[in-house]
Structure 1
Amino acid sequence: MRTKLIFTSLILALTFISCKKEVSKEEIKPIEVETNKNNFQVTLTAIVKTDDNFQLYYSQDEYDVPYKEENSVWVAVKANDNPQDIVFNLPENVIPNYIRIDFGTNEAQKEVTVKNFKMKYFSKSFEAKDSLFFNYFIPNDCVKILDKKNSVVQNIKSQKGIYDPLFYSEKALYDQIQLIVK
């Protein structure tokens, strides 16, 4: 009799423990992340050691200088001793011919290490890692290349006292853009 009582208690305990609420598929709601695959995306992976704001200008015409403020995207960058992705999402259906990346407005920002540059449009992409970045971009006089092999640049004031470190895209980048948008 004692064995029957223990056996019955064990079966009842297992029944209550194994019973769980069945969740219907209607109750499970996936987290929806809004992604727009029509956007041209530029990602600069860099080590930026001081909080700053980076800006990307784009031109849809032939080399359109000066770049227009309304054709730009700003990204706030937090200081980090590790590489971080600085992602510029261009407006829907904008395909640039040329771009310009401004390496910040914070004059306390001195060194920036470029680890990777990537452009993505739909399923196609283009990357230039480390020093290959310099094959596609030209610095202005507010940028000094400290170590080309390791892609370390220093933001400086120009001889005229202006602080506006930036890189202009080369024709080689234009050619790469044409390949990924076709």
Structure 2
Amino acid sequence: MRTKLFFASLILFVTFTSCKKEAGKDEVKPVEVETKNNNFQVTLTATVKTDDNFQLYYSQDAYEVPYKEENSVWTAVKANDNPQDIVFNLPEDVIPNYIRIDFGTNEGQKEIVIKNFRMKYYSKSFEAKDSLFFNYFIPNDCVKIIDKKNSVVQNIKTKEGKYDPLFYSEKALYDQIQLIVK
């Protein structure tokens, strides 16, 4: 009887000791260092069904026309039937007054559905969802608004053959930028 009790105790001891060691291994995790990006960030959430490259221009002073190439950021966009975040990280210490978003260079681009526009600077942000986007941006003649309520646009060529679909920011967006950078 004592032998059975001894072996039973030994088996329980080994079982609980080995389980405790495994649990201990799970508790030791590497420390993740979170790097903060405090640059001004613009995110356009949209459904883009054809691979393309989007570009964001910014001006730091008065409303600049034309925008300068050196004051721009490119982002590659992969085709997706679902909305995706198209993120533009502006260079360090750049705070725009006005921005322009070029909706691609691919002339075969299909309809684009705009779901959200977001600007972030440190812990402050501003968002314009769906059709509210049009309260802050004006399209040029290479963008046709197919359905304003559902924020559907189509890039087009002009009669002259020009293809440069883009949206210019309005004074209302300038006002929102000033609120998040203060």
Q: TM-score, normalised by structure 2?
A: 0.91
C-alpha deviation, 1:142, in angstroms = 0.5
- Which is richer in helix? 2
Which residue is equivalent to 1:14?
15
CA RMSD of aligned residues (A): 1.8
Which residue is equivalent to 1:34?
35
SS class of match (1:42):
strand
Runs of 4+ in 1 over 6 A off after TM superposition: none
Percent identity (aligned): 73
C-alpha deviation, 1:159, in angstroms = 1.4
- 8 Å CA contact 1:43–1:85 kept in 2: the answer is yes
Q: TM-score, normalised by structure 1?
A: 0.91
Report matched runs for 1:1-182 at 5 Å. 1=1, 2-20=3-21, 22=24, 28-37=29-38, 39-182=39-182
Measure, in 2, the Cα distance between the counterparts of 1:5 and 1:180: 71
Gap regions ≥5 residues in structure 1: none
Question: What residue identity is the alignment partner of 1:44?
Answer: L
Instruction: Output one character per residue of 1:7-47: Cα deviation in whole Å (capped at 9) or x when no partner.
Output: 23423432442341656x9x74323343222x111010000
Instruction: Output one character per residue of 1:60-117: Cα deviation in whole Å (capped at 9) or x when no partner.
Output: 0100111011100001111111111111110111110100000001111021000000
- 8 Å CA contact 1:41–1:88 kept in 2: the answer is yes
Measure, in 1, the Cα distance between the counterparts of 2:112 and 2:53: 13
- 8 Å CA contact 1:41–1:87 kept in 2: the answer is yes
Gap regions ≥5 residues in structure 2: none
